[in-house]
């Protein structure tokens, strides 16, 4: 079973992806985490991606599609994947359809996390405070200005994917402002 989680930054996709991994034995693929691993490893790709990410912009479709294409071939993806942060453009969505179509393993559901932007900014601020209090490093793109930029990029480049999936009948909306437990219940219910 393949699932796609779509929603603005901070809407809780990663948290729900972890829960779904446990329940359904799927593999979460977070393209944000994959890019941050490239940065931590100091690869050429990581170096290129860091400046783009820190500005709140999107890494190119070619790079992201290539990254996902090779990753889903690995053994840990055999039972299915939870796509978290991919696709983020209509171009990526079409490329993913083609990829999964070839494998004969289409998408079972696309879950949209509906969220209020100002609440997301408040959540970000408390997350930054907690990270600092825990003595951990704050992400380069986790400051209010860049976060607002990411929200705008979501609206302009990622939200246009939604009508595309609506047309396929696969799109389900969940309330990203509800508690972690309630969102999780909603998702389980829609997956049947």
Active site residue 123: no
Q: Give the number of other Cβ atoms within 10 Å of residue 152's Cβ.
A: 13
CA 185 to chain centre: 19
Residues 129, 21 contacting (CB under 8 angstroms): no
**Binding status of residue 50 toward ligand ADP by CB under 6 A:** no
CA distance 66 to 71: 9
Rounded to 10 degrees, what is the CA torsion of 32, 23, 107, 62? 20
- Single residue of 5, 58, 96, 110 touching ligand ADP by CB under 6 A: 58
Q: Which residue is nearest to ligand ADP (CB)?
A: 32
In the complex, least distance from residue 35 CB atom to ligand ADP, rounded to whole angstroms = 5
Active site residue 139: yes
Give the tokens for residue 116: 């209020």
Binders of ligand ADP in range 8-37 (CB under 6 A): 9-10, 31-32, 35
- Single residue of 2, 86, 110, 176 touching ligand ADP by CB under 6 A: 86
Active site residue 13: yes
In the complex, least distance from residue 79 CB atom to ligand ADP, rounded to whole angstroms = 22
3-class DSSP assignment, residue 177: coil
Among residues 71, 123, 127, 173, which one is catalytic?
127
User: Which sequence positions are flagged as catalytic?
Assistant: 13, 88, 127, 139, 150
């Amino acid at each position: 079973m393949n699932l796609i989680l779509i929603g603005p930054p901070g809407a809780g996709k990663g948290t729900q992806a972890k829960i779904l991994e446990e329940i359904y034995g799927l593999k979460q693929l977070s393209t944000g985490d994959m890019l941050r691993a490239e940065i931590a490893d100091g690869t050429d790709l990581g170096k290129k991606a860091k400046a783009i990410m820190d500005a709140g912009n999107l890494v190119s479709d070619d790079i992201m599609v290539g990254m996902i294409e090779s990753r889903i071939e690995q053994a840990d993806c055999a039972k299915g994947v939870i796509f978290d942060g991919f696709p983020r453009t209509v171009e990526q969505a079409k490329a993913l359809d083609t990829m999964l179509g070839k494998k004969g393993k289409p998408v079972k559901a696309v879950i949209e996390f509906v969220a209020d932007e100002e609440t997301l900014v408040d959540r970000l601020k408390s997350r930054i405070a907690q990270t600092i209090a825990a003595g951990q490093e704050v992400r380069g793109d986790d400051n209010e200005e860049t976060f607002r930029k990411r929200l705008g990029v979501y609206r302009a480049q990622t939200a246009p994917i939604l009508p595309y999936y609506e047309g396929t009948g696969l799109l389900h909306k969940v309330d990203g402002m509800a508690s972690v437990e309630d969102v999780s219940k909603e998702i389980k219910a829609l997956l049947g």
